[in-house]
Structure formats: structure tokens, C-alpha cells
Amino acid sequence: MIGIEIGPEVPSAEGPKVSDGVARFAARTYAPLRVEDQSCERSDPCDPDRSLSVWFNNALDPESIDVADIGISPEIPGSRISVRWNEIDIQGATKGNTVYEV
């Protein structure tokens, strides 16, 4: 929760008068971004060739994310990465008995 206070004596855009008091507003912002879940874990591994997904606690802005900046180790040849809502989805020829780090 954040608080916003404006004034007193804020000038008007329409004339010489200024505001008399203080205007107070309360607002919420998003929680810090964190991983909520992923599709595969060491205790519940994925089958080969299955897509990998990572879910976050907030919506992601696909316009501000360059998928080229998302690293995968070891590399998945021909992988396709998509960002939608609160998820990063990685499709490609994953291998069995391999741990991937995103």
C-alpha cells in the first residue's frame, strides 16, 4: 500500500487559484516479481520433448521482455520461447535425464 499526498496550494491549470487543502489517496502496487511455480521439478521430472513453463506472481509485459535475454542451460536446439500473461513457456526438443536452468 502506498500513500499519495498532493497540496496544499497546488496551482490550477485553469486560472490563478490554488487548492486549499491536502488531497490524500491510497493505492496498491504489485508485489515484487517472483517465481510461483514451474512445470518440471527434480522430484517430478518432465518427459522428453515436453515444454517447460515458469509461472510468476504478477503479469508479465511481453513488449518489455526480449526472449533472446532468457537463457537456457544446457541449450535446447530450436527452442521457441513465448511470454504470455504470467508465464514463460519454452518449447523444444528437451532430453530425458537432463536438468535445465532457465
pLDDT, one tens digit per residue, over 6-57 is 999 999 999 999 999 999 999 999 999 999 999 987 777 888 988 999 999 9
48 and 80 assigned to the same domain? yes
Distance between CA 60 and CA 84 in Å, rounded? 7
41 and 74 assigned to the same domain? yes
39 and 84 assigned to the same domain? yes
Number of domains in the chain: 2
Q: Domain range for residue 23?
A: 1-30
User: Which contacts (CB < 8 Å, 24+ apart) does range 27-30 have?
Assistant: 27/1, 27/2, 28/1, 28/2, 29/2, 30/58
pLDDT at 8: 95
Backbone angles phi, psi at 14, to 5 degrees: -110, 0
Residue 65 in any domain: the answer is yes
pLDDT at 101: 93
40 and 80 assigned to the same domain? yes
pLDDT at 59: 96
pLDDT digits (tens, 9 = 90+) for 55-74: 999 999 999 999 999 999 99
Residue 25 in any domain: the answer is yes
Residue 102 in any domain: the answer is no
